[in-house]
Amino acid sequence: MIIHKEGYKTIAIATTVFAVINLVSFYTISVSLPVVSLLLFILTLGLLVFLVSFFRIPARQMTVQENAIVAPADGKVVVIEEVQADEYFTGRRIQVSIFMSPLNVHVNRNPVSGEVMYSQYHKGKYLVAWHPKSSTENERHTVVYRANNGKELLVKQIAGALAKRIVNYLQPGMQVKQTDEMGFIKLGSRVDLLLPPDAKIHVKLGDKPKGGVTVIASW
């Protein structure tokens, strides 16, 4: 397991705060209130370990298949439904939404290989990530891929009530490879996929896909 580059600065700051708090605690209250000092150490250590684990990138055997659409994120499938597209596309699409809790791996990956046709950031609200309107009203970043077979799909990174920073590395015209990094969302959030109506879905509600590994659909 390695640590994602988006976490370097955050972890450095958190480690400094951890050290300062516990040094102050050791020199001021550890003698008179040893239990309080110990509890403070355990609490701050737990928070630091959680923060480090949030930016983890576990070793995985990625799935690279020409006809497969792989999961762009870890999490839980909370929506599978046909919707009217409201950005880039104009027709009906199949939406598959993956909710990411703060405990999930939060690096986002390209679901297919191909060309980036569209990449757009949108300011917005911070509704809870499972709210039906979060797809259209929350802060988000939308990317459209044209796969090597000529078909297109849309991936939308959506901020939640806690996630207030979306990072996306893609620009229109870029050629990308399936399972390579597309971006990162800090803390809990969700990712939507808008797929062609004829895509064959391979997951169901409640499934827990792994980013870059689980096949969400095929075409």
In sequence order, what are the residues at sequence separation of 6 or more whose Cβ sits closer than 8 angstroms to the Cβ of residue 199?
Answer: 69, 94, 153, 217, 218, 219
Please pick, among 25, 97, 119, 189, the residue that the annotation labels catalytic: 189
Judge contact between 119 and 168, C-beta under 8 A: yes
Element containing residue 56 per DSSP (H, E): strand 56-57
- Closest by alpha carbon to 172, among 198, 152, 199? 152
How far, in Å, CA of 117 to CA of 43, rounded? 46
Hey, what amino acid is at 216? I
Q: Is 53 a catalytic residue?
A: no
Determine contact, residues 183/167, Cβ cutoff 8 Å. Answer: yes
Pick from 65, 61, 47: nearest CA to 10: 47
The catalytic site residues sit at 189
